[in-house]
Amino acid sequence: MRNPIAVLLLFVFLAGACVAPAVPTAGDDNGAASTHPDDLLAEIMARGTVRISTDPNYAPQSFLDESGNFQGFDVDVAMEIAARLGVEVEFVTPDWDLITAGNWGDQWDMSVGSMTVTTARQKILDFASPPYYYTPAQFAAVDGSGVMTLDDLNGQTICVGVSTTYESWLMGDMEALGLPEASFYVDSPPTDTSIIPLTVDNDCAQQIQAGRHEFAAFLTSNTVVEAAIAEGVPIHKVGSPVFSENLAVAFDQSASKDIARLVEKVSEIIAAMHEDGTLSSLSMEWFGEDLTMDPTQ
CA dist 174 and 179 (Å) reads: 8
- Residue 12: exposure state from Cβ atoms within 10 A (0-12, 13-18, ≥19): exposed
Which CATH number fits the domain 40-133+246-287, given the four candidates 3.40.190.10, 3.30.950.10, 3.90.550.10, 1.10.1610.10?
3.40.190.10
Which CATH number fits the domain 135-245, given the four candidates 3.50.50.60, 3.30.559.10, 3.40.190.10, 2.40.160.20?
3.40.190.10
Whether residue 161 contacts residue 203, with contact meaning beta carbons closer than 8 Å, is answered with yes
Nearest to 216 by CA among 163, 148, 136: 148
Nearest to 113 by CA among 138, 78, 81, 89: 78
Q: Please, which contacts does 76-79 make with residues 24 or more away whose CB atoms are closer than 8 Å? A: 76/282, 76/285, 76/286, 77/112, 77/132, 77/273, 77/279, 77/282, 78/52, 78/54, 78/112
CA dist 47 and 238 (Å) reads: 48
Nearest to 99 by CA among 199, 176, 238: 199
Whether residue 263 contacts residue 271, with contact meaning beta carbons closer than 8 Å, is answered with no
Sequence-distant (≥ 6) Cβ neighbours of residue 275 within 8 angstroms: none
Q: What is the pLDDT along the chain (297 residues), one digit of tens a residue?
A: 434 434 433 343 344 444 333 333 334 455 555 566 789 999 999 999 999 999 999 999 999 999 999 999 999 999 999 999 999 999 999 999 999 999 999 999 999 999 999 999 999 999 999 999 999 999 999 999 999 999 999 999 999 999 999 999 999 999 889 998 899 999 999 999 999 999 999 999 999 999 988 999 999 999 999 999 999 999 999 999 999 999 999 999 999 999 999 999 999 999 999 999 999 999 999 999 999 999 988
Task: State residue 7's pLDDT score.
Answer: 40
Angle CA(217)–CA(236)–CA(64) in degrees, nearest 5? 80
Indicate the SS3 state at residue 295: coil
Parts of the chain belonging to CATH 3.40.190.10: 40-133+246-287, 135-245
pTM: 0.84
CA dist 79 and 54 (Å) reads: 12
Beta strands in 27-182, from DSSP E residues, in sequence order: 49-53, 57-58, 62-64, 70-71, 88-92, 110-116, 125-127, 133-142, 157-161
Task: State residue 38's pLDDT score.
Answer: 87
Task: State residue 30's pLDDT score.
Answer: 53
